[in-house]
Structure 1
Amino acid sequence: MTGIMGTESIKDRDYQCEQYRLGISLLKELEYHKHCLYERTHMAHAIETYNLLSKWGEGFDTCLAGLLHSVYSEESGYGNGVANINQLKGYGINSNAVELVGIYEYIQKLPSSHERFFELENKKQFQMASILIADMTDQIDWCYIKNDIAPKEDIINFYKCREYALRYCSREALKYISKMMDAII
């Protein structure tokens, strides 16, 4: 199953649309649409992360986890509310996406996140790599390419911190981020 505009059945598409709607509702409850960082709402970042994953042909669970990737984080910098696993389950968010969001937060909280990444089973490594790269790609695009509000050296360091995930992301994601970084470097 790919993102909402993939080749899935109408039943799958209805399910995906409902899951996306539930995800957006949760983000609104957490006030993602009201809190800004670098003149953009957290909601816009979450949606763009989802869009990148969908564009790259990632599975729907991965795309949905991309939409919700920072709902557990108190350190996002946006100042909006945070959720816990029970809220996601209470909203009816599918268990695969809930698990991926939990893994994302677990990896992000650790100083040596790349070590935790390599502990994941193979499929989860590919899914997590895609989310990490989509999140990074959107931040680089917004903060450096579109708005020139982050120094080039910060962008390069950010990229290097997540470089370990590049060999696990999709060919489409790798082409996209490589082209973006080539333009920067």
Structure 2
Amino acid sequence: MSNMYKPCVAILKAGGFDKAFLYERSHVGHLASTYQYLDNWGCDEETKIAGLMHSVIDPKSGYDNEILDLSTMDETVVPKRAKALIIGYYCLERSEAGYPVEAGEFAYDGRRISLSQEDIRSIADIAVADRIDQVDWCWEKHDIAPTADVMVFLESSKHWAALASGPANSAFETTLSSVRETA
């Protein structure tokens, strides 16, 4: 576990992310699970921290908590690259123009951020971890989501798996196969 993990969780708790629930689990619980997947796949520290905080700036995350201001976070806790990955994740997830898969610059809050192809791969790993965690929690553990809905959710996420690292892609394919077997 990263030495940045506990300070980041403290930031999340101070922001009320431990009090915001969806499907009987706190937002912190989901974010910590996303971090754990990334850690299991051997992702770098900045990617894991970005995964831990991937939805902190998303007003449409589904959880009832405030969004956080990344610019106020100490870079020894949330490094510059992790902040760029969080912003990149948000921009790519909420893009109405589709999912850009190439490195380049993106606009966010009046600023431009640059993402390398390595950054795109890290963002894809975060997206895959996010989806696997949602499927694990909502479908496997709590039977909240119907199998048909889970299949649509995973099928619509294949572009992320295609961009992800080997371990993330493999985990996605295993999850997809598991759901298909029960469909």
TM-score range, shorter chain: 0.7 to 0.9
Unaligned 5+ segments in structure 2 are 105-115
2:150 to 152, 155, 158: 155
- 1:12 aligned partner: none
SS of 1:104's equivalent in the other structure is helix
TM-score (norm 2): 0.86
Tell me the CA shift for residue 84 of structure 1: 1.9
TM-score (structure 1 length as normaliser): 0.85
The answer as to 2:124 corresponding to 1:139 is no
For 1:1-185, what aligned pairs fall within 5 Å after superposition?
4=1, 16-17=2-3, 19-89=4-74, 92-115=77-100, 117-120=101-104, 121-185=116-180
Contact in 1 for aligned 2:161/2:172 (Cα 8 Å): no
Counting matched residue pairs gives 169
> Using a 3 Å threshold, how does the CA distance of structure 1 residues 126 and 37 change in structure 2: closer, same or farther?
same
Q: Answer yes or no: is the 8 Å Cα contact 2:127–2:160 preserved in 1.
A: yes
> What RMSD in Å do the two structures reach over aligned CA positions?
1.6
- Bigger mean CA offset, 95-104 vs 158-167: 158-167
Is the CA contact (8 Å cut-off) linking 2:161 and 2:169 kept in structure 1? Answer: yes
How far is the alpha carbon of 1:168 from its aligned partner?
Answer: 2.2
* Cα offset, 1:91, TM superposition: 7.8
Contact 1:89 1:98 (C-alpha < 8 Å) held by counterparts: no
What is the deviation of 1:21?
Answer: 1.9
Deviation >6 Å, runs of 4+: none
| 1:89–1:95 CA contact under 8 A, matched in 2 | no
Shift of 1:175: 2.0
Percent identity for Structure 1 against Structure 2: 28
Where is the helix percentage greater, Structure 1 or Structure 2? Answer: 1
Distance 1:20 1:84 in 2: 18
Gaps of 5+ in 1: 5-15
